[in-house]
Amino acid sequence: EAQVTQNPRYLITVTGKKLTVTCSQNMNHEYMSWYRQDPGLGLRQIYYSMNVEVTDKGDVPEGYKVSRKEKRNFPLILESPSPNQTSLYFCASTRTGENTEAFFGQGTRLTVV
């Protein structure tokens, strides 16, 4: 089954404690991205990757890092989380092409206290 898998689904952490949210896709997609969802703001792109070892900032990259060492994996790293990063996070993957839809993971609800 084609899917994007995120872990963990829920996470409560304290300010400043480094964390990683993993994302893996089994569709051999080139393009992967991370979004955060906040009430009234929809989804906003944090980082994206066009292929292995190619990553770039999205609209709200501050406080986040990513890596793309393998095509299937695209982890999101918060080196020093702060309460304003409390949000619902989604990983997405897309086959390269103008008319292709994105596939989303189940989401990770992060709370930073």
Stretch that binds another protein, among 19-27, 64-72, 74-82, 103-111 (CB under 8 A): 103-111
- Rounded least distance, CB 101 to another protein, Å: 5
Q: What is the SS3 assignment for 106? A: coil
Burial class (CB in 10 A: 0-12, 13-18, 19+), 2: exposed
> Which is nearer to another protein, 33 or 85 (by Cβ)?
33
Which residues, 6 or more positions from 73, have their beta carbon under 8 angstroms from its beta carbon? 22, 23, 24
Contact (CB, 8 A) for 6 and 106 = yes
Q: Interaction with another protein in 13-52: which residues (CB under 8 A)? A: 31, 33, 35, 40-45, 48, 50
> What is the contact mask toward another protein in residues 66 to 95, using x (rule: CB under 8 A)?
------------------------x-x-x-
> Which is nearer to another protein, 79 or 95 (by Cβ)?
95
- For 32, other C-beta atoms within 10 Å of its C-beta total 27
Q: Which two structure tokens, joined as six digits, stand for 83?
A: 């309460």
Contacts with another protein, residue ranges (CB under 8 A) = 4, 31, 33, 35, 40-45, 48, 50, 56, 58, 90, 92, 94, 98-99, 101-107
